[in-house]
């Protein structure tokens, strides 16, 4: 996806304590089935989008940061518990944001499933989206 436009999107946690803004188009949008995301969000799979770091900003106070694995950081609201973002040395200069935390998540349409090797056996992929089965494939790029 081209990040050259000037689309502005905002979102935040459930209680409103932490808000963010993105500009431009996302690099990608995908459903992640990895064990780490499942444990961090409590969902069978999570839908994420990736933006270049310079196209993301917190509006006011940044949320709590947790190092979920070496050089991998997830943010969440300490007040309401909402999981918000993921950053890692693996994808330098990128911020991954849970799509459900945007004010208008319908504008961020998934294009793939990633880490399908880790999906729960009762999740059936019949939506026609492409998918990656190994961790090496990571978030999809256009």
pTM: 0.88
User: Of all residues in the chain, what percent carry a pLDDT higher than 90?
Assistant: 73
CA-to-CA distance for 98 and 86, rounded, in angstroms? 8
Q: Domains along the chain? A: 8-137 (2.170.150.70)
- Work out the average pLDDT over 102-124: 94
Contact call for residues 40 and 64 (beta carbons, < 8 A): no
Instruction: Show Cβ contacts of residue 126 under 8 Å, excluding neighbours closer than 6 positions.
Output: none
pLDDT at 128: 87
pLDDT at 24: 96
Query: pLDDT tens digit string along 6-33?
Result: 899 999 999 999 999 999 999 999 999 9
């Amino acid at each position: 996806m081209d990040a050259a436009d000037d689309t502005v999107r905002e979102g935040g946690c459930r209680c409103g304590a932490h808000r963010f803004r993105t500009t431009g188009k996302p690099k990608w949008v995908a459903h992640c089935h990895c064990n780490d995301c499942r444990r961090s969000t409590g969902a069978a799979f999570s839908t994420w989008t990736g933006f270049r770091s310079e196209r993301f900003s917190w509006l006011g106070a940044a949320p709590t940061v947790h190092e979920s694995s070496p050089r991998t950081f997830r943010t969440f609201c300490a007040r309401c518990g909402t999981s918000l973002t993921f950053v890692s040395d693996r994808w330098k200069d990128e911020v991954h944001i849970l799509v459900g935390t945007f004010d208008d998540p319908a504008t961020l349409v998934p294009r793939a499933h990633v880490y399908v090797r880790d999906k729960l056996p009762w999740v059936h992929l019949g939506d026609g989206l492409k998918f990656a089965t190994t961790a090496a494939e990571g978030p999809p790029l256009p």
